[in-house]
Structure 1
Amino acid sequence: MLKHPTLDLLGQLGLAGMAKAFAEMESNDDAASLSHAEWLALLLDHEATYRNDRRLALRLRHAKLRHRAVPEDVDYRTRRSLDRRLFETLLAGEWISRHENLAIIGPTGIGKSWLACAIGHKACRDNRFVLYTRLPRLIDELTLAKGDGRIAARMKSLAK
């Protein structure tokens, strides 16, 4: 089989996940026992996973989350008295679809920012775009945008 031209063509077509999987499967002796349909299914699965991972990485980078928090790491026994059912409802993200707001309030040092980042991370995994910012920074940014005439564009950007 023509290995290099196939890899080159996959690269030209923008199928980097398939190209990587093709190279891995070509060197794997167990892959020789697979049918053509199984081979193709594995290549397509690798490409889909590769693209989903890249989209998630892009959304997380644009979200500018302050902490590397994920919902699976939330400890419900800490002194913040977090209601598990409420937090799981927030993680489901239906409030986002209804265009509702969320304010996480409480005393200093109990993990409000960390929880917000965990919710943001879950939203990114759910194929939503997220922007993490603290309120004082947002107010300063909007004040500057108003001063130099960019307020309409910035508000439109935030609405997305």
Structure 2
Amino acid sequence: MINDETKKKLDMMGMHALVEALEVQEKESLYKSMTFDERLNASVDHAYQIKYNEKVKGLIRRAHFRYPQASVEDIYYSKRELDKDQIMTLITNSYIDSYKNVLIVGFTGSGKTFLSNCLGKAACRDGISTRYIRIPDLFVQLEEAELKRGRNKLINKFANCPLLILDEWLINSMSEQEIEFIFELIERRYQNKSTIFCTQFKIESWHNRLGGGVHADAIMDRIIHNSVTINAGDVNMREVTSNMNKE
């Protein structure tokens, strides 16, 4: 049994998780028959799990997900066009390692945001910093940043996270200023970060919705050619979920 002074020293070294692990061992009789090495290994495993859980919780909190409780296990596949094998591959986060984008396309209510949050949480569980934001909210921040001459700071904020989820992509027409901002953001992330785009608009319509000019060309070129597309289909998941809750 370790004394209070030793526990205090461990706490001062930032090893509270190890203290907690040792305290668990003191209370559980099954550890008494273990060798020193076995108890040490068990303590380290316990402490590691505590630190890991704390890190993941922090990443999820800072991601600002729309659905922080979203889970891959809860994805509904029945009667949908979702490719389960594709989803299972994506949650390994290999697309992030290769800096690929993910384009989630589907009708209103088809569960695009939920899917994106599931992928985002899978990234968080791998220790990958993630950020979720709706495009309308991003442009509100842009407007505020322009007033404070903080445009570059805003770009840095969203350009540097390994996984960025842009929801409601192209939901509204963009001003020239907004299109230029999106170009700068996508350019900064090109070939070194991954971005998930959630949209109800088919990819072939994106160019026109981005203004149809040279910025549209450049944005499309950087998004499309290294991407994976998820067809979320046309099943209204809000209606499905509502009916399931009534049963």
Q: Same fold (TM over 0.5)?
A: yes
Q: CA deviation at 1:144?
A: 2.4
Hey, what does 1:21 align to over in structure 2?
A: 21
When the two structures are superposed, what TM-score results if normalisation uses the length of structure 2? 0.60
Cα-to-partner distance string for 1:22-51 (whole Å, 9 max, x where unaligned): 111112222111111111111111111111
Write the distance in 2 (CA, Å) between the matches of 1:98 and 1:24.
41
Match of 2:153 in 1: 153
Query: 2:58: which partner in 1?
Result: 58
1:122 aligned partner: 122
| 2:64 counterpart letter in structure 1 | K
| Pairs aligned (count) | 159
CA distance, structure 1, for counterparts of residue 85 and residue 2 of structure 2: 55
**Match of residue 73 from structure 1:** 74
RMSD: 1.7
Residues 84 and 2 of structure 1: is their aligned pair in 2 closer, same or farther, counting only changes over 3 Å?
closer
- Structure 1 residue 2: Cα displacement: 4.4
Cα distance in 1 for partners of 2:89, 2:138 equals 26
- Whichever residue aligns with residue 11 of structure 1, its letter is D
The structure in which a higher percent of residues are strand is 2
Quote how far apart the aligned CAs of 1:157 are: 1.7
Structure 1 residue 10 corresponds to structure 2 residue 13:
no
TM-score, normalising length: structure 1 = 0.89
Separation of aligned partners in 1, 2:60 and 2:158: 16
What percent identity do the matched residue pairs reach?
Answer: 28
Mapped partners of 1:91, 1:29: distance in 2:
39
Query: 1:92, 1:27 → 2: CA distance?
Result: 38
Structure 1 residues 21 and 131: alpha-carbon distance in aligned structure 2, compared to 1, 3 A threshold: same
Counterparts of 1:94 and 1:143, CA distance in 2: 35
Structure 1 regions of 5+ residues with no counterpart? none
